[in-house]
Amino acid sequence: MTIAVASPTSSTTARFSPRWLSDRLGGFVLHVVVIGLTVAWMVPTIGLLITSFRLPQDISNSGWWTALSPPFKFTLDNYSQMFAASNLGQSLFNSFMISIPATVIPVTLAAFAAYAFAWMKFPGRDWIFLALVGLLAVPLQLTFIPVTTEFVKLGLTPQHLTAIGLPPFIPLWLAHAGYGLPFSIYLLSNFFRALPSDLFESAEIDGAGTLTVFFRIVLPLSVPAIASLVIFQFLWVWNDLLVALIYVGGVATVAPVTVTLVNLVGSYGQNYQLLTAAAFFSMIVPLVVFLSLQRYFVRGILAGSVKG
């Protein structure tokens, strides 16, 4: 069920009446504005796309829009060089190995915790919640040294983990989970809290246990919120560079695709035009995730939930 926000034209206005005209014009203006804004927004991306098909000498000497008029000098060079990058296959795999658990863990744990914050009472609940929101502000760089020191002491380094047969990405999963939890809990609590309390009351009367309420009522009704969270967390982890380098390193066997692509460029910045092709390549997976989760955004399950 889609919440139909139909255009406000009432079908009873007379054709060509002033009201009818202003409604039609309003509709037309709306489309112009929407499409205009979107096209303007797309300009930088389109510029990058076209640049990715140009040779470096063209890129430094003329703007991307000049490529749209003859002579057409397009090339697949940047893409072929990128695909020839050593380790691209392995790092793609690594990125999935990193991103999927690093999304599942925080979203799931956040769902558990948000449920408790929204619908259970326990001492210190509000203050702990507030502290969580405050933790959003902690700059990550300051956590690197203390946490990696502890990890080394605990043996949670990629080398040690591979030696004992465990996936080397465990420290990175935990790190991304830890860093992503404050926002996840914050977002989900907001949506969970907005669910109507009569739902819970009637469930209680029916004798449903906590788990049933969670899995059968709360989660299904919160699908749009969870879908948004999955997208954002996945995006953040997929595109992350520094956290991966710190916790898992840049060695070919464990490097995610962000490291491989950024290393296409020489240490002085030679061949930086390869980054244009790399940008589009690494965009594909997050966009696919977004598009496939899009349909969860239109369900009107939240009807009546945003009562404030």
Partner 1 sequence: MRRLWLKRSLLLSLAAVVTAVACGTSSTPAAGSVNVMATWTGAEQASFFAVMKPFTDQTGITINYEASRDQDALLTTRVAAGNPPDLAAAPSPALLTTFAKAGKVKALNNIVDMTALQSQYSPGWVTLGEPLSDGKLYQVYSWVSLKGLIWYDPKNFTAKGYNVPTSWQSLLDLQQTIKSSGTTPWCIGLESGAASGWPGSDWVKEIVLSQSGPTVYDNWWQGKQKWTSPEIKLAWQTWGQILGSNDSNVYGGAKNMSATNFGDAGTPMFQNPPKCYMHNQASFITSFFQSANASLQAGTDYNFFSLPDITSQYAGAHVVAGDAWSMFNDTPQAEKMLKYLMTADAQAIWVKRGGKISPNNQVPLTDYPDALSKSTAQILVATKIAKYDAGDQMPSDMRNAYWSAVLQFAQNQGNLNSILANLDAVQAKAYTS
Partner 2 sequence: MDFSVLLTDLPTLVVVIIGVPLVLAAYIVGGEYLVRRLPDKSRPAVRPWIWVAPALLLVTGFLVAPAIGTVFQSFQDKNGVFIGFQNFAAQLAGFPTGGAWIAIRNNLFWLIFYTLFVLAFGLLLAVLFDRVPYESVVKSLIFMPMAISSVALVVIWKFMYAYQPPGQPQTGTLNFILNTVFHQDPRTWIQDETPLLGLFPLNDLALIGAAVWGIVGFSLVILSAALKGIPGDLLEAARVDGAGEITIFRRVIFPLMMPTVVVVGTTLVIFALKAFDVVYAMTNGNYNTDVLANRMYQLLYNSHDFGGASAVAVILLLTVIPVLIFNLRQFRAVEARR
Which of 89/300 has CB closer to partner 1? 89
25 binds partner 2 (CB under 8 A): no
Q: Is 249 left (phi over 0), alpha (psi -120 to 50) or beta?
A: left
Binds partner 1 by CB under 8 A, chosen from 94, 103, 157, 282: 157
Give me 301's structure tokens: 């399950």
b/e per residue 108-117 (b: at least 16 CB within 10 A): ebbbebbbbb
Which of 133/159 has CB closer to partner 2? 133
Residue pair 264/275 in contact (Cβ under 8 Å)? The answer is yes
Q: Count Cα atoms within 13 angstroms, Cβ side, for 172.
A: 31
Binds partner 2 by CB under 8 A, chosen from 13, 77, 135, 203: 135
Distances (CA, A) of 188 to 234, 291, 292: 16, 21, 20
Q: How far apart are CA 251 and CA 158, in angstroms?
A: 10
139 binds partner 1 (CB under 8 A): no
- Of how many residues is the chain composed? 308
Q: List, in order, residues 6 or more apart from 269 with CB less than 8 Å away.
A: none
Choose the contact partner of 205 out of partner 2, partner 1, none; CB within 5 to 8 A by kind: none
Choose the contact partner of 249 out of partner 1, partner 2, none; CB within 5 to 8 A by kind: partner 1
219 binds partner 2 (CB under 8 A): no
300 binds partner 2 (CB under 8 A): yes
Which of 134/266 has CB closer to partner 2? 134
Which of 143/160 has CB closer to partner 2? 143
CB neighbours (10 Å) of residue 176?
Answer: 25
Please spell the DSSP secondary structure of 222-257, one letter per residue: THHHHHHHHHHHHHHHHT--HHHHHHT-S-TTT--H
Binds partner 2 by CB under 8 A, chosen from 3, 14, 164, 205: 3
Query: Which positions from 222 through 251 interact with partner 1, judged by CB under 8 A?
Result: 242, 245-246, 249-251
Query: Which positions from 224 through 283 interact with partner 2, judged by CB under 8 A?
Result: 224-225, 228, 231-232, 235, 239, 241, 258, 261-262, 272, 275-276, 278-279, 282-283
266 binds partner 1 (CB under 8 A): yes
Q: Which residues bind partner 1 (CB under 8 A)?
A: 55-57, 60-61, 86, 141, 144-145, 148-149, 151-153, 157, 159, 162-167, 242, 245-246, 249-253, 255, 259, 262-272, 274
